């Protein structure tokens, strides 16, 4: 068992580390992420943040209690979602 002060230091050193999106994709390959302390670029894309949860199973990341601060859910691999513009163009909306 880790003493309380040891766990607090461990948590600060390894859990609350800000990472860029590229670092997250490299470290958590093919996983779902719950990210806090989000920093976005001028176009609203995720630039960096703190990974709070990660799992290959999306439900594991989504089902736990939500946090009391802004968060983002991201998948680190390519998505097959083409976006709403693609859908609207296909439907001729």
Q: Are 5 and 57 in contact (CB under 8 A)?
A: no
pTM: 0.67
- Tens of pLDDT, residues 30-88: 999 999 999 999 988 899 999 999 999 988 888 877 778 888 889 998 765 544 555 55
The gap from C-alpha 58 to its chain's centroid, in whole angstroms, comes to: 11
Asked whether the predicted pLDDT for residue 17 surpasses 80, the reply is yes
Q: Are 50 and 37 in contact (CB under 8 A)?
A: yes
Domain ranges of the chain: 17-91
Asked whether the predicted pLDDT for residue 25 surpasses 80, the reply is yes
């Amino acid at each position: 068992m880790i003493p309380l002060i040891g766990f607090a230091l461990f948590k600060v050193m390894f859990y609350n580390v800000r990472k860029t999106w590229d670092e997250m994709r490299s470290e958590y390959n093919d996983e779902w992420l719950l990210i806090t302390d989000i920093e976005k670029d001028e176009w609203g894309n995720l630039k960096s943040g703190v990974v709070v949860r990660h799992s290959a199973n999306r439900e594991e990341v989504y089902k736990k209690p939500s946090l009391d601060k802004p968060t983002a859910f991201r998948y680190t691999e390519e998505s097959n979602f083409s976006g709403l513009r693609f859908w609207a163009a296909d439907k001729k909306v």
